[in-house]
C-alpha cells in the first residue's frame, strides 16, 4: 500500500454531521449516543459517546470517501467497526483511561459507509467514545495483503 506525498489525510472532527439519517442525541450517555465537545492542541470538534449499559446500537457514518483509504480512529476504550457489505466486524480493545489511535486496513470506500457499534455481549458491555476519524488516501492493499483467519496473541488462538 502506498500513499502519495501529495495526498493529505482528511480529518473528520464533527462526527454527528456524518451520521446517516441525521443524528438525534439521546437524553444522556445511559440512554444512547450523545455528542461531546473536544478541544485539543491539534483540533477542535464534536465526538460521539455512549454509556456501557445504554441501549445504543450501531451508528452508520457516510464519510463521502471515494477510492482507497486507510482509516485512523481516535477512541476509547473499545469499538466494533465494519463497512457496508462486510459480514463481520473489527474489534479493537483499548484502555478506558487513554485515547487509542486505531488504524484499520486499507479499503475501497467508494459507495461504502462506516458502521460503528459499542462492544456489547454477555461477558462485557463497554462504554464507547469516538474523538476523531482520519482518512489517508492510498493506492490499495499491500502486495502481501492477506485476510486474517487465525491469530495467536500469546494467550490463545482466535478465529
Instruction: Report domain extents, the chain.
Output: 10-118+132-140
pLDDT surpassing 60 at residue 150: no
Whether CATH 2.60.120 fits 10-118+132-140: yes
Q: What's the predicted TM-score (pTM) here?
A: 0.83
List Cα–Cα distances, 26 to 30, 45, 46, in angstroms: 8, 19, 15
Among the listed residues 97, 108, 98, 102, the one whose alpha carbon sits nearest the alpha carbon of residue 140: 108
| pLDDT in the model for residue 154 | 58
Cβ atoms of 50 and 144 closer than 8 Å:
no
pLDDT at 72: 93
pLDDT digits over 8-59, tens only? Answer: 899 999 999 999 999 999 999 999 999 999 998 888 999 999 999 999 999 9
pLDDT category of residue 66 using cuts at 50, 70 and 90:
very high
Amino acid at each position: 500500500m502506498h500513499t502519495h506525498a501529495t495526498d493529505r489525510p482528511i480529518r473528520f472532527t464533527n462526527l454527528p454531521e456524518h451520521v446517516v439519517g441525521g443524528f438525534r442525541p439521546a437524553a444522556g450517555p445511559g440512554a444512547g449516543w450523545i455528542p461531546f465537545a473536544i478541544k485539543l492542541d491539534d483540533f477542535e470538534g464534536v465526538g460521539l459517546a455512549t454509556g456501557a449499559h445504554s441501549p445504543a446500537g450501531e451508528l452508520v457514518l457516510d464519510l463521502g470517501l471515494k477510492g482507497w483509504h486507510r482509516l485512523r480512529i481516535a477512541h476509547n476504550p473499545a469499538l466494533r467497526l465494519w463497512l457496508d457489505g462486510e459480514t463481520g466486524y473489527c474489534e479493537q480493545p483499548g484502555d478506558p483511561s487513554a485515547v487509542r489511535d486505531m488504524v484499520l486496513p486499507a479499503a475501497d470506500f467508494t459507495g461504502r459507509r462506516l458502521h460503528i457499534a459499542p462492544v456489547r455481549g454477555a461477558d462485557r458491555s463497554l462504554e464507547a467514545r469516538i474523538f476523531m476519524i482520519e482518512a489517508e488516501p492510498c493506492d490499495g492493499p499491500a502486495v502481501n495483503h492477506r485476510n486474517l483467519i487465525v491469530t495467536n496473541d500469546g494467550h490463545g488462538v482466535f478465529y
